[in-house]
Amino acid sequence: MDIQIGQQAPEIELESTNGHIQKLSEFKGQKHVLVNFYPLDFTPVCTSQNCGFSIDLGLFDQFDTVILPISVDSKYCHHAFQEKYSIRQELLSDIHRKATHDYGVYFEPMNCSKRAYFLVDKSGIVRWKKIMDELKDSLSVQELLSVVKTIADG
């Protein structure tokens, strides 16, 4: 599926590292959501990005935005990853790859997701997206905050 700007975001319903089933719709009317698909735990770029999110969670909070990091790793792998690097945000396990397929970011050669970002506003509408061409590519926290600020102020 190719997600278009302006369309309703597909529902996400995945288990988080705290054992809670996290639904995207839980934030409707309350928070903007940065949905971040990333390939795999414990890889250099994914580690750097999740650690950066963890450090700067408060900056996203200032714009009423929550981050939902999603990968195809199991909740057990996520828990070890979160613990090893003191990652504060909950990580969501898409082990069955449903969200990865629903958002059109499945990367078949590695059976994981591409690195991708979708900014969903408080009404559940996709306002911005970026799917990286290479798994090793990512956007910085500052680049993402700039987009979040634009949408939040809009």
Which of the following is catalytic: 46, 51, 77, 112? 46
Distance separating alpha carbons of residues 132 and 115, to the nearest angstrom: 6
Determine contact, residues 82/91, Cβ cutoff 8 Å: yes
**Residue 77 falls in the annotated catalytic set:** no
* Helix H or strand E encompassing 67: strand 65-71
- Partner residues linked to 93 by β-bridges: 15, 71
C-alpha dist (Å) from residue 60 to 12, 82, 145, 150: 20, 19, 7, 12
Just list the catalytic residues: 46
